[in-house]
Amino acid sequence: MNKRYRQEWGNKRNYPCNQYLIKNGNSLPRPIEPEDIKHLLKKIRGKPRDKAMILVLLRTGMRIGELLATKIQDINLKERKILIFESAKNRIGRVVYLSEDARVALKKWMKIRNQKSDHLFYGHSGRPLSYEAARSVFKKYSYKAGLSEKGYSLHCLRHTFASELLSAGMPLESLQYLLGHRSIVVTRRYARLSNIALEKDYFDAMAKIEKGGADGLYRNDYEI
């Protein structure tokens, strides 16, 4: 990594939702830190719509535009899934799944929402909620949680979803489908940031080396 890229990396490393530049000019998405997610969710109280919106994005990895285009007929709470259609004409798309907390939040919202609107999330006119309105919701709770200086955006919820599933052991091919990536090369970017399994393997192996537990390896008995 040359000096310019090292500097850019250093400047950005404390901003989890900004993107790290790598040598070929591509960027790597950054997830929201786990503690920050906890703080964010704690601030969404008494607002079923806002809680449902943020939890569904966090637990499904849907693009914001996909969620705002979602209609009630696309949701199956019993089977805990949402259908996403790339084209309204040919109805071709994919399925994403709901975690239990997202299902509960969504169920609460669906009980009180305006039944006259076909869309899950809507504005005053009953038409789909705008991106700016959804963005304002996230910014409001981010501010309340004391996270406004960290550079998080609404799209970071999708990055967090991907990174958490990879860290939990989900195969790249499965994550590719859930995210709707046409190429696994795009999905593979997340693997560079979700190396918890690799980190554990490293420290487990290094612990054996340091204790002299591997054949032919020395034990570190001197002070540093």
pLDDT number for residue 190? 81
Which of 37, 20, 22, 7 shows the shortest CA–CA distance to 147? 37
Pairing mode of beta strands 93-97, 81-85: antiparallel
Dihedral over Cα of 110, 115, 120, 125: its sign: negative
Q: Which fold has domain 30-193?
A: hpI Integrase; Chain A (1.10.443)
Among 1-10, 13-22, 36-45, 190-199, the range of highest mean pLDDT? 36-45
Q: What percent of the chain has pLDDT over 70?
A: 75
Residue 223 has pLDDT above 80, yes or no: no
Residue 25 has pLDDT above 60, yes or no: no
63's CB contacts (< 8 A; 6+ apart) are 158, 180
pLDDT number for residue 17? 46
Among 51-65, 88-102, 174-188, 199-213, the range of highest mean pLDDT? 51-65
Spans of all domains in the chain: 30-193, 195-224
> Residues 28-85: pLDDT tens digits?
667 899 999 999 999 998 999 999 999 999 999 999 999 999 999 999 999 999 999 8
Report d(CA 138, CA 154) in Å as an integer.
Answer: 6
Residue 11 has pLDDT above 60, yes or no: no
Residue 122 has pLDDT above 50, yes or no: yes
pLDDT number for residue 2? 47
Give me the chain's average pLDDT, please: 82
Report d(CA 210, CA 212) in Å as an integer.
Answer: 5
pLDDT number for residue 194? 63
pLDDT number for residue 87? 58
Residue 144 has pLDDT above 70, yes or no: yes
> Residues 182-206: pLDDT tens digits?
999 888 888 766 666 667 777 888 8
Mean local confidence (pLDDT), 146-155: 93
Mean local confidence (pLDDT), 155-171: 90
pLDDT number for residue 197? 63
